[in-house]
């Protein structure tokens, strides 16, 4: 059986790598990105370039979206020349961006009215994992839709966790990123504390990264912080967005995410200091001034 035709919407840091993996696995891929220059690069690698989300979706069996937030996702799915209106009935829709549960529920209802089905399938991993096809998908939606999506998701990742009905993947992703954001913020404060105190930074960091606090994330981010290499793998401003979304979801469950609020404050300082388009590790930069 031939691979399904894919419409891929959003070619940012993550989307480019994901679309390339689909092309490498011989899926027919049509791409749309608001910055057409990124689409041109994929076109040279075999993708068909669409002038709008609607054009990309019109001939697709599966639509995959990897966008920054609710606003961007809503625009490409439901806005002028949006993908959903042009999709044939029965088209499978997959939202991989880190968005709110409320938006997933709204989009799921819209796709159902159109005779289609939605999976929320955000990912863990960053630029490197997207480029190498090693993402992990956190999926919400029906078992039948996941069965249809599995070959597509498997082409871009190494694991698929089905977490429950629509919105479950989105919620788990926000919980995951909330914990990551708190770890990164606490590491930034700890690192500056080490630097200002006169402790030898090398051995001090070895204790943190080699001991109980030494998660894979802490190990990776500590290297970026110490070398001040803030080349973006995960944009700082997007972590701030994710923390804000997580805080709002916690509020709906009557949980005050105080640690997330503190971390968000540090990331907002990073944005105010001009680091929003840099890597999340740049959250340490304002603390060093």
Catalytic residue IDs: 173
SS3 content of the chain, % helix, strand, coil (to 5): 55, 15, 30
Please spell the DSSP secondary structure of 157-217, one letter per residue. EEEEEEEESTTHHHHHHHHHHHHHHHHHHHHHHHHHHHHHHT--HHHHHHHHHHSTT--HH
- Sole residue written with tokens 């080349």: 231
Q: How many residues does the chain have?
A: 289
Contact 267, 274 (CB under 8 A): no
Beta bridge partners of 279: 235
270 is written with which tokens? 């990073």
Cα 221 from chain centre: 17
Which SS3 state, helix, strand or coil, does residue 33 take?
Answer: coil
């Amino acid at each position: 059986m031939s691979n399904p035709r894919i419409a891929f919407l959003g070619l940012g840091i993550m989307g480019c790598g994901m679309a390339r993996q689909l092309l490498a696995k011989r899926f027919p891929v049509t791409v749309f990105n608001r910055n057409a220059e990124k689409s041109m690069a994929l076109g040279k690698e075999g993708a068909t370039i669409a002038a709008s989300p609607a054009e990309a979706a019109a001939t697709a069996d599966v639509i995959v979206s990897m966008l920054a937030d609710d606003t961007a996702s809503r625009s490409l799915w439901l806005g002028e020349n949006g993908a959903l209106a042009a999709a044939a009935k029965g088209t499978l829709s997959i939202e991989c961006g880190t968005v709110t549960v409320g938006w997933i529920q709204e989009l799921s209802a819209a796709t159902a009215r159109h005779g289609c089905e939605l999976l929320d399938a955000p990912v863990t991993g960053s630029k490197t994992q997207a480029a190498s096809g090693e993402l992990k998908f956190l999926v919400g939606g029906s078992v039948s839709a996941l069965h249809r999506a599995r070959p597509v998701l498997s082409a871009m990742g190494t694991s698929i966790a089905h977490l429950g009905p629509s919105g479950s993947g989105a919620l788990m992703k926000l919980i995951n990123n909330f914990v990551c954001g708190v770890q990164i913020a606490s590491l930034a404060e700890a690192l500056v504390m080490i630097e200002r105190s006169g402790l030898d930074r090398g051995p001090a960091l070895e204790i943190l990264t080699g001991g109980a606090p030494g998660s894979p994330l802490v190990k990776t981010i500590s290297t970026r912080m110490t070398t001040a290499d803030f080349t973006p793998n995960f944009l700082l401003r997007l972590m701030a967005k994710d923390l804000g979304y997580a805080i709002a979801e916690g509020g709906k469950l009557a949980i005050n995410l105080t640690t997330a609020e503190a971390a968000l404050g540090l990331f907002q300082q990073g944005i105010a200091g001009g680091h929003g388009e840099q890597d999340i590790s740049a959250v340490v930069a304002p603390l060093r001034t």
